[in-house]
Amino acid sequence: QTSEQLVKGATDTSNVLNYGMGYNLQRFSTLNQINKDTVKNLVPVWNYSFNDDRSEESQPLVYQGVIYVTSHNATMAVDAKTGKQIWKTKVEYPAETPRIVCCGIINRGAALYDGKVFRTTLDAHVIALDAKNGKELWRQKAADIKEGYSMTVAPLVADGVVITGISGAEFGTRGFIDGWDPATGKHLWRTYSIPSPDEPGGDTWKGDTWKLGGGSTWITGSYDPELNTVYWGIGNPGPFNSSVRPGDNLYTCSVLAMDPKTGKIKWHYQFSPNNPFDYDSVAEMVLADMNVEGKPTKVLMDANRNGFFYVLDRTNGKLLAANPYVKVNWATGIDMKTGRPIETDVSKDAREGKKVTVYPSILGGKNWEPMSFNPQTGLAYANTLNFGGKYKAEPVTFKQGEWYLGMDLTDPWEFGDGPRGHLKAIDPLTGQSKWEAPSDIPRFSGVLSTAGGVVFSGQLTGEFEAFDADTGKKLWQFQTGSGIEGQPVTWQQDGVQYVAVTSGYGGVYSLFSGDERLAKVPPGGSLWVFAVKQ
Ligand X SMILES: O=C(O)c1cc(C(=O)O)c2c(n1)C(=O)C(=O)c1cc(C(=O)O)[nH]c1-2
- The residues of the shown chain that bind ligand X, judged by CB under 6 A, are 57, 102-104, 106, 152, 167-170, 216, 218, 235-236, 278, 280, 363, 367-368, 507-508
Element (H, E) at 118: strand 116-120
Q: Which is nearer to ligand X, 317 or 388 (CB)?
A: 388
Give the shortest CB-64-to-ligand X separation in angstroms: 30
Sequence-ordered list of residues with C-beta below 8 angstroms from that of 520, at least 6 positions apart, any chain: none
SS (H, E, C) 395-458: CCCCCCCCCCCCECCCCCEECCCCCCEEEEEECCCCCCEEEEEEECCCCCCCCEEECCCEEEEE
DSSP 96: T
Give the shortest CB-69-to-ligand X separation in angstroms: 16
- Contact criterion met (CB below 8 Å) for 497 and 448: no
Give the shortest CB-219-to-ligand X separation in angstroms: 8
CA distances for 183 relative to 34, 51, 117, 157, 158, angstroms:
38, 31, 11, 12, 14
Give the shortest CB-460-to-ligand X separation in angstroms: 10
Separation CA 138–CA 119 (nearest Å): 11
What are the respective helix, strand and coil percentages of the chain, to the nearest 5? 10, 40, 55
Strand, coil or helix: 101 = coil
Separation CA 98–CA 148 (nearest Å): 10
Give the shortest CB-266-to-ligand X separation in angstroms: 24
SS (H, E, C) 169-218: HHHCCECEEEEECCCCCCEEEEEECCCCCCCCCHHHCCCCHHHHCECCCC
Catalytic residue flag (residue 278): yes
Element (H, E) at 511: helix 508-512
- Contact criterion met (CB below 8 Å) for 118 and 182: yes
Give the shortest CB-149-to-ligand X separation in angstroms: 9
Give the shortest CB-409-to-ligand X separation in angstroms: 13
Q: Which is nearer to ligand X, 98 or 419 (CB)?
A: 98
State the catalytic residue, choosing from 278, 280, 302, 427: 278
DSSP 153: P
Give the shortest CB-110-to-ligand X separation in angstroms: 16
Per the rule left: phi > 0, alpha: psi between -120 and 50, beta: everything else, 356 is beta
Per the rule left: phi > 0, alpha: psi between -120 and 50, beta: everything else, 225 is alpha
Give the rounded distance of the alpha carbon of 245 from its chain centre.
26
Strand, coil or helix: 520 = coil
Separation CA 9–CA 157 (nearest Å): 12
Q: How many helices (H) and strands (E) does the chain have?
A: 3, 38
Element (H, E) at 509: helix 508-512
SS (H, E, C) 378-412: CEEEEEEECCEEEECECCCCCCCCCCCCCECCCCC
Give the shortest CB-24-to-ligand X separation in angstroms: 23
- As annotated, the active-site residues are 278
